[in-house]
Structure 1
């Protein structure tokens, strides 16, 4: 089979667009009648990319595709999943159509059909519009779920998802495009969660069973009430649904409770999600070492960001006893805290 390259087709289309008026004026009435009555035929569809054209039956919005076949010279309409899709008439020949899939083309509960309408008739071709690759927006909750318990995964573009804990596929109880409820399988502890769809996959940045805070505190490290911090529950958390914040004055602090955890052999360090005024800074005061000149100074942005600190960065700690923060610009501001936990080795 002869292979076509996009540059060959595109060059031909340029020639067609330049001489389309001449070609139209030179075409006889009989030829027009024959071309108009010939029903369209779709042989294949390929994404418009450099190199050899590779036929596909799956497309993505905001990408240009080449429809190849015959009988396209009298093209009137193109539909993807029943959405009337714009096309440039100068990018159409009798055998090729260049078309961009509209960004608003639905991909859920859709017909999964490409329809081409010409004066000679209509042809329908099986063609799936896939969503973008799945995303995790607020991770999963609870992080410390046990085998057989349900977790909720928060994200987007969860069309016909498969959920895996490590290499073990989990049972899905229910799902929408933005949430999945799944059951933790046997052996799911200390495993990362992956969501896979037709468009790709995404894996959590932390593992099951590694939380110190995932909407609730574990291990007794919660900041006491006298810190005057506030917990908020909504869909703007970094993880799950609940985070805490404090309006801190210059050099003010948030102090965690004193506790003890020396069962950290499986871990490489700790993690946390923070945000604050752009360019603001917090000093991480770990295990009560307020005078530590090597303590991490964290520069924040106004968007949630996950931060990681190894034991080596924390004075080669062999245990966790206290997690506190000091405002470190002197200007103060509103600071947000979420998603505390361990980093697996």
Structure 2
């Protein structure tokens, strides 16, 4: 709550400073108050960036929904309506002077196949102003297959992929690398994997900014299939389906693991040859849910039976991360030879997907 209050206070201060600045700097503070037709001269973004630095007071031609902007001009005091792409947008009358309107672009403002105009209606007339609404930030839900090799095509699923640019994400030691796009729609991008992509995340950029995948290429242990020789065992389990294709029971891709499990039982996955742990991995990740909320524990390499790492499951998939320190390890193990999902006192149907290494 403290952080939320700080953000709200910071935003209010930024808005009021911007409003006072433009009001005081106007060349004609009285030109519109007596009945002059409205004029829009510029639009400026207001507030702070991710580094808490106030945005420069420079005109912009593209607006990002859910951000504040100052419409600067003349004859604005009697404003009755403001439209972005013909979408009626709320504004606070207390944030209006004759030269400036501080307004937040609504998150529901259309951004495709639209007028690309601000329409401002006052008692003394209407004015149109060229202004583009950018789409929301990209959202990456998942990509598949995660362990593709150089030249393979993989599919990124998400939203707001408008004129996307795809790269291997920048790391602390490596620059971003352009990625070839084979095809794209609003919700899906097909790319071709470049060379040296293993253990690199994927970034998608649109006009509003960049999103980076939570997982990395080549980091998967199970992603529609196991990427290593395995055997499945355990106790108190039934109806095991390692390639369940029911869409509502899959976290990403097309398949997931599904099984019925009794109280105080476990699903065990053994990897006879061992799966080498890549350099830089901080632990393991997986997505999981259960038909009945309950608690589980995770064990790897048969090494932490006395204290399995605990998690709480519910009816929705969530990503869980087990770091090496959580397992009582001072450093990463050389390989993964087994994973056990140990169920506590509640019998349920459980679903596991997207098992891999976390970087």
Same fold (TM over 0.5): yes
**Residues in 2 aligned to 1:314 and 1:243: alpha-carbon distance in whole angstroms:** 29
Superposition deviation, residue 211 in structure 1: 1.1
The 5-angstrom pairing of residues 193-342 of structure 1 reads: 193-221=202-230, 223=232, 227-230=238-241, 231-234=244-247, 237-261=250-274, 263-264=276-277, 266=279, 268=281, 269-276=283-290, 280-288=294-302, 292-303=305-316, 304-310=318-324, 313=327, 317-328=333-344, 330-342=345-357
Post-superposition Cα deviations, 1:126-153, rounded to whole Å, max 9, x if no partner, equal 322223322222x210001111221111
Distance in 2, matches of 1:148 and 1:262, equals: 24
The two structures have a TM-score, normalised by structure 1, of: 0.77
Deviation sequence 1:3-27 (CA, Å, 0-9, x none): xx85367679xxxxxxxxxxxxxxx
Deviation at 1:163, TM superposition (A): 1.0
Task: Normalising by structure 2, report the TM-score.
Answer: 0.75
Higher strand share: 2
Deviations 1:156-177 (A, max 9, x none): 2323221112411111222233
Cα deviation, residue 339, structure 1: 0.8
Once the 2 structures are TM-superposed, how far is the Cα of residue 213 of structure 1 from its aligned partner?
Answer: 0.7
Question: Aligned residue for 1:189?
Answer: 198
Cα displacement (A) at 1:279: 6.4
Deviation of residue 208 (structure 1)? 0.8
The separation in 1 between residues aligned to 2:20 and 2:277, in whole angstroms, is 63
Q: Deviation of residue 121 (structure 1)?
A: 4.6
Secondary structure of the structure 2 residue equivalent to 1:260:
strand
* Maintained 8 Å contact 1:274/1:307: no
Distance 1:101 1:152, change over 3 A: same
Aligned residues: 319
Post-superposition offset of 1:76:
4.7
Deviation at 1:327, TM superposition (A): 0.8
Q: How many angstroms apart in 2 are the aligned matches of 1:254 and 1:224?
A: 6
Q: Which structure 2 segments of 5+ residues have no match?
A: 1-13, 22-30, 49-53, 170-175
- Structure 1 residue 314 displacement after superposition: 6.8
After superposition, residues 19-168 of structure 1 pair within 5 angstroms as 35-36=34-35, 38-47=36-45, 49=47, 54-55=57-58, 56-87=60-91, 91-118=95-122, 120-137=124-141, 139-166=142-169, 167-168=176-177
Unaligned stretches of 5+ in structure 1? 13-30
**Does structure 1 retain, via aligned residues, the 8 Å contact 2:309–2:322?**
no
Worse-matched range after superposition: 125-134 or 206-215: 125-134
Q: Which has the larger radius of gyration?
A: 1
2:10 counterpart residue number: none
Alpha carbons of structure 1 residues 106 and 222: separation in structure 2 relative to 1, 3 Å: farther
How far apart, in 1, do the equivalents of 2:69 and 2:232 lie? 55
Deviations 1:223-276 (A, max 9, x none): 369852231342663332322222321012212244212533536343222233
**What's the offset of the Cα at 1:106?**
0.7
Helix, strand or coil for the counterpart of 1:324?
Answer: strand
